[in-house]
Copies of this chain bind each other. A is one copy, B any other.
Amino acid sequence: MVFQLNFKSGKAVYLQLVDQVKVAAACGAVQPGEPLPAIRPLAEELRVNRNTVAKAYAELESQGIIETVVGKGCFVRPTNSPFKKDVRRKLLAETIDAAVVHAHHLQIGKDEFLRLADERFDALEHKRARAALS
């Protein structure tokens, strides 16, 4: 799993985690039965207190998204309402709209925006590739 936290967004960090796991689970990016990262190393990677990650996992469990097995870890449960393709596109469109508005105020045009997006997408792939090796 790859997470992206924004400490200045004004949204609680644990809720950002919750949202990201929910989306990933609803789309099959993490398959049912797959384990989520363990709390301690994830907290370290995200530079966040363990309590914060634990709170996010607790929230996910109370929402029935994941299942915690004490001593083993947290596992994704099967989704009963996976997102359809058009729902996924619409969700992403909202996020992209926000980015486009941000670009406008920073006076960054479409060409450079797309170049940056391409670049950051590749960066994510490299990050995942490196993570897969270790």
A residues sitting closer than 8 Å to B (CB atoms) are 2-4, 6-7, 9-12, 15, 19-20, 22-29, 49, 59, 62-63, 65, 69-71, 79-84, 87-89, 91-108, 110, 112-114, 116-118, 120-125
User: How many protomers of this protein does the assembly include?
Assistant: 4
A94: chain B residues within 8 A (beta carbon): 6
Which residue of the partner chain, among B6, B24, B28, B100, contacts A117 with CB atoms under 8 Å?
B100
Find A100's partner among B9, B65, B120 (CB 8 Å cutoff).
B120
A23: chain B residues at CB < 8 Å are: 97, 101-102, 105-106
| Bound: A73/B48 CA distance, A | 15
A69 contact set on B, CB distance < 8 A: 7
Assess whether A102 is in contact with B98, with CB atoms less than 8 Å apart: no
Closest 8 A-B residue pairs measured CB to CB?
A24-B105, A4-B101, A10-B12, A10-B15, A82-B87, A26-B104, A88-B106, A23-B105
